[in-house]
Amino acid sequence: MFSHSPFAALSVSVPAIAMQLYLLIMVALVLGGTLFDMLHKRSAAYFFQSRRKARAEARREVGGSEKLLLAAETAAEALVSGEFCNPRRRVAHLLTMYGFIAYALATIVMVFWYSAREADTPAILPLLWHIGALLILIGGIWFWFFVRVDVAAEGHSPLRVVRADLFIVALLKSAALALIWSWLQWVESPLAIWALGLYVIATTILFGSVPWSKFSHMFYKPAAAFQRRLEEARGSRMNLPSPADLPERFGNPRELPRHY
C-alpha cells in the first residue's frame, strides 16, 4: 500500500487535468482566505502600525548582513518549533508540521508530474505521502487528547470542539480519509469512491475555511518572529517590555508569558 500511488490509479477515471485544477483551486483558497483574514481582522494594518512605532523607537540600525543572520535564526527556530516551551507540544507540532509538508509536497509532485504514470512514479513519493499522513494523525491526535490547553490544563473534555479547533479537526479528517481512501483503492473495494468523496469534502473544508481557522497563523508566525528579533536588535521592544522593566510584585519580578 505504501508504494501505491492513489492519484495515478485515480487517473483511470478522473482526468489528470481535473486533479491539477483542484489543487490550484485549493492554493487559491489559501491565498485568498489569508488575504481576507488579514483585511477582516486588520492584522496587517496592526502589524505595520506596530512596526512603524517600533522603528521610531529604534536605538540603532541593523545592516543587511545582520538581517540575514536574524532571518536564519528565525528559520532555525521555526524548523525545531523553538517557540514552544512545552516539550510535548513541541514534539506534537513537529510531527504534524513535517508530516503536512511531506504529505503536501508529495501530493503536488504526484498530481502534476506522475498522475497518469503509476509505473514511472518514484517509490519515495507515495511512501512520503502515506508517512506524511500518518505523522499528521500521530501528532494531531497526541495534541488533541493530551496537549491542548483546554484539555490538559483546564480539564475540559477532549471531545469538546470549538471554532478554534476547525483547522486541526479538518486536517485530521483529511489525513485519515486520505489513508482510508488509499487502502480501499489498493484492495479494490467498491467503497473507495465514497472514501474519495469524503476525502475531497474534508480537504476542501481544510483549505476553504482559512478565514475562520488557524491555518493562516503559519504565515503570520514566521513574519512576527522575525520582526520581534529585528526590533530587539534595534533596541526597540514593540509591545513586550524587557524583564528588567517589569514591575516587581511581592519581591519577585513577573515572568514573561510562555508558549504552551
7, 130 Cβ separation under 8 angstroms: no
209 Cβ contact partners less than 8 Å away, ≥ 6 residues apart: 33, 166, 167, 170, 215
Q: Quick check: 252 pLDDT over 60?
A: no
Structural domains in the chain plus CATH codes: 6-54+86-238 (1.20.950)
Asked whether the beta carbons of 173 and 201 are under 8 A apart, the reply is no
Radius of gyration, alpha carbons of the chain: 22
d(CA 14, CA 144): 35
Burial class (CB in 10 A: 0-12, 13-18, 19+), 243: exposed
Query: SS3 of 254, please?
Result: coil
The pLDDT of residue 170 is above 70 = yes
The yes-or-no verdict on residue 213 having pLDDT over 60 is yes
- Segment among 90-94, 108-112, 253-257 with least mean pLDDT: 253-257
Give residue 157's pLDDT band: very low, low, confident or very high (50, 70, 90).
low
Contact 134, 13 (CB under 8 A): no
pLDDT one-digit tens code per residue, 133-147: 999 999 998 888 877
HSE, CB side, 13 Å, CA atoms: give it for residue 80.
8
104 φ, ψ (degrees, to nearest 5):
-70, -45
What is the Cα–Cα distance from 131 to 4, expressed in whole angstroms? Answer: 12
